[in-house]
A and B are shown apart, each in its own frame.
Chain A
Amino acid sequence: MKRVGIVALNTFREAVRDRVLYNLVFFALLMMLAAVVVGQISIGIEESVIVSLGLSAISVIGLLISVFIGVALVSKEMEKRTLYALLAKPVRRWEFLLGKFGGLLLTLAVNTAAMAAGLFLVMLYVKHSLQPSDAVVLVAVYFIWLKLALIVALALLFSCYTTPLLALLFTSGLYIVGLYVQELRDLPAQVMSPAMVAFTKWLSYLLPNFENFNVMAMAAHGRAVPGTLILQNTLYAVIYCAIVLTCAAAVFSRKSLK
């Protein structure tokens, strides 16, 4: 695991030096503007508007980073041939892959944590104080980070066997589909053949369920998130990522470099 850590830290260093974290400036400006505007136009619901806006921004910025950088994690190394010298070292391909995943996850953790800190500062500015119930915002941020981990894993898998552009399309497509998994499960069984019912059920469990991670409405209204949901989502993300990364490692371990 030491080698995984070495690759992960270098991936994080790459993100920092390639100015990925500059998005924080955009987030800070957005939140400052929101704090000023919200106070003027939304009497009594400032906090929920700020929380919704802040969490949405954290989610969108994280999505953009995880999809765009995720699909380039491996393909860029193959394209630029930086992988040649690295794989000639005592590094297994799955160690490299896991290191790249870990590095981007670390980048997203730092980025998300910084944005969450910014959101709490704005909440403090608007409400003049913070309550224990505001901790639900932290849970929502944690769920966003779990969701991003899943997206990075999928982006890595697709980028191992197709072009970056197709990987981008597949990852984005799967994310959108993954937002409607519950709807797929709730399709009326009466109007479908038994085979179709079985297929949609099977498909709904195979697809990543991103809707599970959305507790934005609860956070905006200060409602507590049940501990079982936190545990369930954590396990779901860990297991799903493990399966996707195992598939990615299997594909990548037989991939011939150019």
Chain B
Amino acid sequence: MPMTGFAIEIENLTKEYPFGFLHLQKKTSLEGLNMQVETGEVFGFIGPNGAGKSTTIKLLLGLIFPTAGTARILGKPISDVEMHKDIGYLPEQPYFYDYLTAAEVLDYFARFHDLTAADRKERVERMLKKVGLETARKIQLRKYSKGMLQRVGLAQAILHDPKLVILDEPMSGLDPVGRREVRDIILELKREGKTVMFSTHILSDAEMLCDRVGVIVGGKLRGVGTPGQLVDLKTQGMEILFALTAASNAPLLAKATKTGECYRLQVAEGELYAAIEQLRGAEARILSVTQVKATLEEFFMNLVEADRAQASAVEVSGK
């Protein structure tokens, strides 16, 4: 992975929204965010709804303005619109001009990137094929499903061969096939040396795709690092998956969970071989033995629960 500096540098980025009568009260949506995304990496930005993920992305793209702090993208300040030539962006729940067809909307966006007519045509065709919309290319977007719009959004984000791709909830609204395709596109972008930053709720996607992740909860960054750095990688136990070939009364079976025709049994690492011996004695067929580790999901859930507990405590003390 080519590591040549930072694609995104965020310093003390803060966003407050005024509300209430005369806008005198303020709600902090993002609080002093400091974060970097390295060039060439796939960076996952994870957090629950309202955590500040989309706010951060909108601030980076100049769609909203920070209350405090600064950020640089590809070495340039975020106020520099020309820098957008090298950025691809997929908004959350994207919506495009519904009177245009997919080919027209892609051609429209391509026009802002100083491409020749022939180049635009070739890229539009290639992108439509890449996101699986070539057969729907002449249908107006008002007849598109949510998943199809998401594909158009992805196509317009990568159409101009950007150095940095920022995707806000790219898997949202997609069926399993679509999600798989998006994952493949992200991995392809990584192979091409692009930097990808994407926000997601789906932690398995982040674990699968990301070099590093940033976890944001309640507008504050709670952790940045590789998924392995964030969660405790020490083995918490061993899981044995087995099937019974004959009826058995082995005591271990009482601790196992039955799923369909299979049983799952979790034991301590030191008890693994004894457990296997017992199961063999009960004529069980061992299907697999896997290590049980803490997941990103557990790390994430712990943070969210701690944040909720803190919020409740503040509310109670406030009363």
Where the two chains meet, the residues of A that have a C-beta atom closer than 8 Å to any C-beta of B are 3, 6, 10, 13-14, 17-18, 80-82, 84-92, 254, 256-257
Chain B interface residue bracket vs A: 20 to 34
Known pairs A90-B82, A90-B85, A90-B112; A14 contacts B64 (CB<8 A)? no
Which residues from chain A contact B63 at a C-beta distance below 8 Å?
84, 87-88, 256-257
- Are B97 and A92 touching (Cβ within 8 A)? no
A89 lies within 8 A of B84 (CB):
yes
Q: Are the C-beta atoms of B64 and A257 separated by less than 8 Å?
A: yes
Write the chain A residue with the least CB distance to B63: A257
Provide the B151-186 mask, 1 if CB < 8 A to any CB of A, else 0.
001001000000000000000000000000000000
Contact assessment for B99 and A85 in the assembled complex, using a CB-CB cutoff below 8 Å:
no
Q: Is the CB of A84 within 8 A of B94?
A: yes
* CA of A88 to CA of B87, assembled, Å: 8
Is the CB of B22 closer than 8 A to any CB of chain A? no
- 20 sample A-B contacts, Cβ–Cβ < 8 Å, listed by A number: A10-B97, A10-B108, A14-B99, A81-B93, A81-B95, A82-B95, A82-B96, A82-B97, A85-B90, A85-B96, A85-B156, A88-B84, A88-B87, A90-B81, A90-B112, A90-B113, A91-B81, A91-B84, A92-B81, A257-B63
- Bound form: Cα–Cα A56–B104 in Å: 37
Contact partner of A91 among B87, B112, B156, CB < 8 A? Answer: B112
Which B residues are in CB contact (< 8 Å) with A17? 99
The interface residues of chain A lying within 8 Å CB-to-CB of B99 are 13-14, 17-18
- Is there a chain A Cβ closer than 8 Å to B61's Cβ? yes
A90: chain B residues at CB < 8 Å are 81-85, 112-113
User: Closest chain A residue to B140 by CB distance?
Assistant: A17
How distant is B142 from chain A, measured CB to nearest CB, in Å? 10
Partner of A84, one of B83, B84, B87, B91: B91
Q: When chains A and B are docked, how far (Å) is the Cα of A36 from the Cα of B304?
A: 76
The B interface is mostly helix, strand or loop, or mixed, namely mixed
In the bound complex, residues from chain B placing their C-beta under 8 Å from that of A13 are 99-100
Known pairs A14-B99, A82-B96, A84-B94; A6 contacts B108 (CB<8 A): yes
Residues of B within 8 A of A (CB): 58, 61-65, 81-85, 87, 89-91, 93-97, 99-100, 108-109, 111-113, 153, 156
Q: How far is the CB of B65 from chain A (nearest CB, A)?
A: 6
Distance in angstroms between the alpha carbons of A143 and B95 in the assembled complex: 38
Query: Does B113 lie within 8 Å of A89, measured CB to CB?
Result: yes
In the complex, residue of chain A having the shortest beta-carbon distance to the beta carbon of B17: A256
Residues of A within 8 A of B94 (CB): 81, 84-85
Q: Apart from A81-B93, A90-B81, what 7 extra A-B contacts exist at CB < 8 Å?
A: A10-B97, A85-B89, A85-B90, A86-B109, A90-B112, A256-B65, A257-B64
CB-defined contacts of B61 to chain A, threshold 8 Å = 87-88
In angstroms, how far is the closest chain A Cβ from the Cβ of B315?
27
Q: Which residues of A contact B83 (CB under 8 A)?
A: 90
**Nearest 3 interchain pairs by C-beta:** A88-B89, A17-B99, A256-B64
Please state if A254 and B65 are interface contacts (CB–CB under 8 Å): yes
A84 contacts across to B, CB distance below 8 A: 63, 89, 91, 94
- In the bound complex, what is the Cα–Cα distance between A122 and B269 (angstroms)? 95
Chain A residues lying within 8 Å of B82, measured Cβ to Cβ, are 90
Contact indicator A89/B62 (Cβ below 8 Å)? no
A6 to chain B, nearest CB (A): 5
Q: Which residues of B contact A87 (CB under 8 A)?
A: 61-63
Q: Is the CB of B95 within 8 A of A80?
A: yes
Q: Which of A6, A91, A92, A256 lies at the interface centre, i.e. has the most chain B CB atoms within 10 A of its CB? A: A256
Determine the distance from Cα of A132 to Cα of B84 in the docked complex, in whole angstroms: 54
Closest to B112 in A: A89
Closest chain B residue to A17, Cβ basis: B99
Tell me, in angstroms, the Cα distance from A256 to B85 when the chains sit together. 21
A85 to chain B, nearest CB (A): 6
Residue of A nearest to B58 (CB): A257
- Docked Cα-Cα span, A210 to B109, in Å, equals 38
The residue in B61, B62, B85, B112 that gathers the most chain A C-beta atoms within 10 A of its C-beta is B112
Bound-state Cα–Cα, A257 to B99, Å = 22
Q: Which residue of A lies closest to B89 (CB)?
A: A88
State whether A3 and B112 are in contact (beta carbons under 8 Å apart), knowing that A89-B84, A257-B63 are contacts in the complex.
yes
- Most A-side CB within 10 Å, residue of B61, B85, B90, B111: B111
Q: Note all chain B residues with C-beta closer than 8 A to A10.
A: 97, 108
A61 → chain B, closest Cβ, in Å? 22
State A6–B89 Cα separation when bound (angstroms). 20
A257 to B83: give the CA distance in the assembly, Å. Answer: 20
Provide the bound-state CA to CA distance between A257 and B87, in Å: 19
Q: What is the CB-to-nearest-CB distance from B69 to chain A, in angstroms, rounded to a whole number?
A: 15
